Amino acid sequence: MTTEMAGRFTFSDHTVFRKLIDEITALPAETQIFDLAGIEFIDSAGLGMLLLARDEGEKNRTTVVLRGAKGQVKRMLEVARFDTLFQMED
C-alpha cells in the first residue's frame, strides 16, 4: 500500500496523520510505503510521526518504507539516521 504525501509535514498534521495510521493498520499489508516526493519541508514532529508509523507497523508485522525524499526532507532523514530505522528508496 502506498500513501502519497505533499506539502509541509509538521506538528499541525499530527491529528490527521494519526487517523491515517489507524486506517492503515486496520488493513492487512506486508509493506506500507510513504511516498515523500511531494513533501517540501519536514520538522522534528514530522520525523516523530514517521517513527510512530514505524512502531505501529512493527506491531502489525508491516514494513514501513520511505520513498522519494528530496531536498530538505532528504537531509533531515539523513541527519536523523532514518536509514538505520527504515527501508529507504529513491
What residue spans define the domains of the chain? 2-89
Mean pLDDT score of the chain, rounded to an integer? 94
What is the model's pLDDT at position 48?
A: 97
What is the model's pLDDT at position 69?
A: 97
CATH of domain 2-89: 3.30.750.24
**Mean pLDDT throughout 52-78?**
95
For 51-69, letters b (16+ CB in 10 Å) and e give: eebbebbeeeebebbbbbb
